Amino acid sequence: MRSLWSQWPRLRESLAGKNAVLFLDFDGTLAPLVADPSQARLPAATGEALAQLACSPRVVVGIVSGRELAELRRLVGLRNICYVGSHGLEWVLPGGRPHLRATPAQRRRIRHIADELGRALRGLPGILIERKPASVAIHYRNASQQHARKAVAEAERATRHHASELRLLRGKKIVELLPAGATSKGTTVEALLARLSRGRRSCLVAYFGDDATDESVFVRLRKNGLGVFVGKPRRTTARFYLRSPREVCEFLQQLCTIVS
């Protein structure tokens, strides 16, 4: 894995006259990770760069996150971009209506399981249960190791008990229970790319992400796209890396000088 900056001269040259589709994760990629997810904010400079890129007729911008769609749109605040929330279960295109890939029965089951987890983990310091339209997440970033292990064990128990209905997704200090099925960030981004790239010749596709949940996108772009891991270099299917959200912002600002 190489630094994306090492490829900048070649990218700058290859982007001349090209269209681009950029998908980026939110937490840890565009916005720095924080102890309390509700306190996350998109840096002003990053938001300005995204807005400028989204206004270019040559660029399509999409934000991809585990956060629920409504919250993601509120945090980013841009209208003319794509949004993918809840790890691909929710998505919306500019000017379109939101889509949710979960049946009413699946949503009822998730609400029931969220209630069970709430009772099992009630009173544990540092444990946060986040209810979403079609999934439930357990955050343990601020918990002790003992309490974190209990939270993960309860999520694993629920998954085993409802094995035909649920799957467990692991991320940075978080586990999430989602409806069983093949929907992921990767499958949803792939489907949206098929739409967005239609009629666009010489289109560069890039995805930026910082977590294990982003690997489903990286693997799909391994041959025909640009996968960029954000953080300290580690084992990943992404071919390139940037070290921090600050570097992501700097890279977006450099892109603005080419496509504006």
Supply the pTM of this predicted model: 0.92
Residue 26 contacts residue 67 (beta carbons within 8 Å) = yes
**Domain residue spans in the chain?**
2-100+183-259, 104-179
Catalytic residue, chosen from 25, 27, 210, 214, is 25
Q: Could you tell me if 105 and 122 are in contact, meaning their C-beta atoms sit under 8 angstroms apart?
A: no
pLDDT at 201: 60
Tokens of 213: 């949940």
Q: Do domains 2-100+183-259 and 104-179 have the same CATH topology?
A: no
CATH 3.40.50.1000 for domain 2-100+183-259: yes
- Architecture, CATH, for domain 104-179: 2-Layer Sandwich (3.30)
Distance CA(53)–CA(49), nearest Å, equals 6
Per-residue pLDDT of the chain (260 residues; tens, 9 = 90+): 899 999 888 888 878 778 889 999 999 999 999 988 889 999 999 999 999 999 998 899 999 999 999 999 999 999 999 999 999 999 999 989 999 999 999 999 999 999 999 999 998 999 999 999 999 999 999 999 999 999 999 999 999 988 888 899 999 899 999 998 868 999 999 999 888 766 556 688 999 999 999 999 999 998 888 999 999 988 899 999 999 999 999 999 999 988 87
Q: Is 211 a catalytic residue?
A: no
- Pull the structure tokens for residue 9: 């001269």
Cα torsion for 190, 191, 196, 199, to the nearest 10°?
100
CA distances from 11 to 30, 145, 226, 242 (A): 21, 43, 10, 15
